[in-house]
Chains A and B, each alone.
Chain A
Amino acid sequence: MVTPIRLSVPGALRYRPIAVRVVAEAARLVSGGLASARDAKPSSVDSLALDVRHPFDTAVVSAFMEIFNNIAIHAYQRRGSGTIEIEITLSSDAIVIEVRDDGRPFDIDSVAELPEELTEESLPEGGMGIHIAKTMLDEMTYEPGPPNMWRLCKRLPASQVAVGRS
């Protein structure tokens, strides 16, 4: 069993970039990073830059950002109190992120589906976060607590596993 990566941050939005950075770097360890050799520019690679271009990294980071927002806004009511516990487990072809909080449980069933036919009039101005997270991931579960727990899972397509790695 590989040791998980663990991070605790205060349950406030200003700490989100720290958590996003950790998740992005963890995702890159699974995906191998850059979307393709075409995009590889060794001279311009800045190890401190947030690089979210590979579809796997995109999916993981997009989903995680929405879940973090949800916890800070709904569970902790934007009060900035409480803790968000993040536990990341990596394997060669998948990432599992468990996110726990001790705030208000979220009513995930209350989330409306996106309109079937998206037109100018039906463009949503909210309620997209959970839809983004769910669609980007292979599995997403939520268990009300305490602690409440979100479990996010994304697998790398078989064709991309170990590509470009020695």
Chain B
Amino acid sequence: MAAPFETTTANGETKLIVRNTLDINSAPALAEEIDKIVATRPTKVLVDLSGLTLIDSSGVAALVKLYKGVRGGGGAVTISGARDQPLAIFKLLRMDKVFNL
């Protein structure tokens, strides 16, 4: 099985791919990765959630942390590909508008 998340950087853009389940068991590892991403003060971060099938509030909190951290450093965050259960959760929390989903 592919790693639950993966970061690549190319042409000044940081891409974070999150797959499978992002929940209270996997969010702490992602939060560490997010701290590293935020520390680089990236100008542009793309978050690809097309392979994400399940999320809980811990997973949402990790993504909010990324969003706020990058924006706070003057960068831009684009979140794309959310579908099914994760999209339903973002809509329920009314984050779909903030995240432009």
| A residues at B contact (CB < 8 Å) | 13-14, 16-17, 35, 50, 52-53, 55, 58-59, 61-62, 65-66, 69, 73, 114, 118-120, 123-126, 128-129, 131-132, 135-136
Contacts and interface: CB of A to CB of B under 8 A. Distances in A.
Contacts of A126: 57, 61
Contacts of B92: 132, 135-136
A126 B24 CA distance: 12
B53 A52 contact: yes
Contacts of A129: 56-57
A115 B68 CA distance: 16
B42 to A, nearest CB: 17
Main secondary structure of the interface of A (DSSP, over half): helix
A123 B95 contact: yes
A13 B24 contact: yes
B61 A65 contact: no
B88 A66 contact: no
Contacts of B67: 120, 123
Given A16-B25, A125-B64, A52 B97 contact: no
Given A50-B54, A58-B85, A66-B57, A123 B24 contact: no
B32 interface: no
Interface string B7-25: 0000000000000010111
